[in-house]
Amino acid sequence: MALLKSLVPCLAIVIFLSISSLSEAKEFVVGGKKKSWEVPSSPDEFNKWAEKIRFQIDDSIVLKYDGKSDSVLQVSEESYKTCNKSNPIKSYNDGNTKITLDRSGPFYFISGAEDHCQKGQKLEIVVLSANHHSGGHSPAAPSPSPVVNHHHAPAPAPHNGGSGLKAGFLGGVAVVGILALV
Ligand SMILES: *[C@@H]1O[C@H](CO)[C@@H](O)[C@H](O)[C@H]1NC(C)=O
């Protein structure tokens, strides 16, 4: 009975850890781990990367580049489409820029270097609204994009609430096991 009583707070901790790991904000290096913010080899490379990820509020993106020769401009949709660098919402040139996606909806980024945006160094990120947040990062909420890709298996996105849940659960079990032994 005493053992059972001591288990209850442990289980509470396990459940708490599991839930918090589901809603944890994630950080993404733009283009993938080895890719940097530079003129891509194919023009829509950055957006192809972004389309595979379900960004949620408070996730962040990290852009890596040479701050002497390049920069990141956050711009309006209009400026994104026309590669207009003249009036950015925000600009960064520190070479390792972390931007928190603090609201839902689209974010637009272009390179501040001459002609880079025209060559495809641009990125659109759409953050899901809180309404779509029905259970962590994994569920496939309806996408605003009309392109539904049935042919490829979904890429193993780093967003994976399931494995976080599992890890939290296993960690919790370990804690329970240790406490039960004491
Ligand atoms: C670029 O944007 C600025 C400010 O938003 C605007 O005044 C200018 O006309 C735009 N330039 C072009 C080429 O569209």
Cβ–ligand 1 contact at 86 (below 6 Å): yes
Domain at 25-142+152-160, CATH class:
mainly beta
Neighbour tally for 26: CB within 10 Å:
19
Query: DSSP code of 62?
Result: E
The amino acid sitting at 154 is: P
d(CA 76, ligand 1 centre) in Å: 11
Question: What parts of the chain have a pLDDT lower than 50?
Answer: 133, 135, 138-143, 145-150, 152-154, 157-166, 171-172, 174-175, 177-178
**With helix as H, strand as E and coil as C, how does 78-138 read?**
HHHHHCCCCCCCEEECCCEEEEECCCCEEEEEEECCCCCCCCCCEEEEEECCHHHCCCCCC
Ligand 1, atom 8: nearest CA belongs to which residue?
86
What is the pLDDT, as a whole number, of residue 162?
A: 44
Alpha carbon separation from 175 to 1, 9, 41, 113, 179 (Å, rounded): 19, 11, 48, 52, 6
What's the predicted TM-score (pTM) here? 0.65
d(CA 84, ligand 1 centre) in Å: 6
Residue from 80, 84, 85 to probe ligand 1 pocket by mutation (most atoms less than 8 Å from CB): 84
Q: How far apart are the first and last CA of the chain?
A: 15
